[in-house]
Structure 1
Amino acid sequence: MARRLRFNGTNSGNDGCPAVHEDIGTGEIIVQGPQLIDPADVAQLQHLSDGEVAIVVPRDLLVDWGPKDVTRQAKTIDLDAFAKLFTTFRHTAWRLEARGRYASDELTTTYAQFTRNEPVDWDDVDAQWCANRRTQAALGKRIERVRIVDQPPTIGQLYLLDNARRNSAVGETIMNLWRRDAEELNLPAEDFWIFDSRLVARLNFDEADNLVNVELITEPAEVVRYCMARDAAMHHAIPYEKFAVALTTKEQ
């Protein structure tokens, strides 16, 4: 089976070489760069076995994009502390929603209405949440999401496509992206928020699709990797209104 490689980064602004990739499954690091080929140089290497090659890369590449402390203790926060991030961020909050189902949605009255094919009135639903979003938008802050959609969409994804009307009404920008496109872009298969391009909040779910806690990521190279995923997603994603029209047209 082919490895699933994640592009960590490169210090080259032109041809993208040398570069560092990471094997998501094993955690192994793959370094891409020019091979050391001068026999006099190769002869100085110790323990170079048959089938192995030596790669020459700038020191900065490993400093900037190499593996960090893989033994570090993850910093997790509870959901109350997570909620406070939406009042303390200064400029931007951006989310990737990659799951096919969210258990919390299915406990709502609006979800029951939606699954009964009844019109959903999103006015004043979760008034505190809406008030926060309106307050942040009034301060000039941007809150944006890209939602991944399967083919065919799950019920939960269709519900969120309808729910986007509420998000938009309170100041959020909602975009959609087909999962096949997300996979071609090598977007992370996880849910996360990026706050002010400096803090990543990775959402951890249990097997029943319940959000249980949030892991905070502040390592600069890791944050940049998530920001790169954000930029790729936003470039290819479609505003939810256009996505909904295209989906309806396709179904007809």
Structure 2
Amino acid sequence: MPEFISDDQFDHFFGDGFAHTAWRLESRRGYASDRSGDGFKRWLRGEDPQTDPNRPWCRSIAAQTAAGKRVGRVRIADEPITDGQAYLLHVGWANVQAGEDIRHLPRATALRLNLPERDFWLFDSEHLLEMHFDQDDNYLGAELVDDVEAVLDACQIRDRARHYAVPRAAFVDQVASRV
């Protein structure tokens, strides 16, 4: 069983814990935390999920990017995309508006590139936080991995994923053209 860091340690990485870049790989088909939220339930009913562009995450991203830092992620998407992936695509505008670079990559391309099916955060190409989930997509915790080879592998995964992924707006157009 991995040793998870505390929530305070996790939060530290998003404040003073990085100097230049924070990047995430999201490979899950959905997240239990999204499915249990009111916004997701509203979205499933065809209603506005009422995404708050002033929520703490967006305020933090805006402050980090205003300070010259870069925050981004690549979301691996199935074809057709799952409800969880479609929901995150729909509400992702607020993160992008705050300054986060969200990109999407088809799962078939990710498989061709030998990208792993795992979630992690990478900070300044030095600190790796492996995100752990159970079989029902419940978040269990984050493990700080300090093995140099594991961090280098995560950097290479980031570079491959980011190179082939498309920005959120372009992916929205791609998905809309398939419906």
Query: Same fold by TM-score, threshold 0.5 exceeded?
Result: yes
Change (3 A) 1:75 1:151: same
The residue type equivalent to 1:231 in the other structure is D
Partners of 2:151 and 2:160 lie apart in 1 by 14
Alignment of 1:64-213 (within 5 A): 74-87=2-15, 88-124=17-53, 127-213=55-141
List, as ranges, runs of 4+ consecutive aligned residues in structure 1 with deviation greater than 6 Å.
Answer: none
Describe the SS at the equivalent of 2:22.
strand
Contact 2:71 2:101 in 1 (8 A): yes
Contact 2:53 2:95 in 1 (8 A): no
Partners of 1:113 and 1:215 lie apart in 2 by 33
Describe the SS at the equivalent of 1:104.
helix
1:220 aligns with 2:134: no
Partners of 1:81 and 1:170 lie apart in 2 by 23
Please list the CA deviations of residues 218-252 of structure 1 after superposition, one character each: whole Å capped at 9, or x if unmatched: 2211111110010000110001111111111122x
RMSD over equivalenced CA pairs, Å? 1.5
Describe the SS at the equivalent of 2:49.
coil
Q: How much does 1:161 deviate?
A: 0.5
Structure 1 or 2, whichever has the larger Rg, is: 1
Change (3 A) 1:124 1:248: closer
Partners of 1:151 and 1:74 lie apart in 2 by 32
Please list the CA deviations of residues 46-93 of structure 1 after superposition, one character each: whole Å capped at 9, or x if unmatched: xxxxxxxxxxxxxxxxxxxxxxxxxxx954213332122100211100
TM-score (norm 1): 0.67
1:244 aligns with 2:175: no
Partners of 1:74 and 1:114 lie apart in 2 by 35
The residue type equivalent to 2:72 in the other structure is E
TM-score (norm 2): 0.93
Show structure 2 runs of 5+ residues with no match.
none
Q: Which has the higher contact order (CA 8 A, sep 6+)?
A: 2
Show structure 1 runs of 5+ residues with no match.
1-72
Change (3 A) 1:103 1:80: farther
Change (3 A) 1:233 1:124: closer
Please list the CA deviations of residues 134-169 of structure 1 after superposition, one character each: whole Å capped at 9, or x if unmatched: 111111110001000011111000001012101101
Number of aligned residue pairs: give it.
178
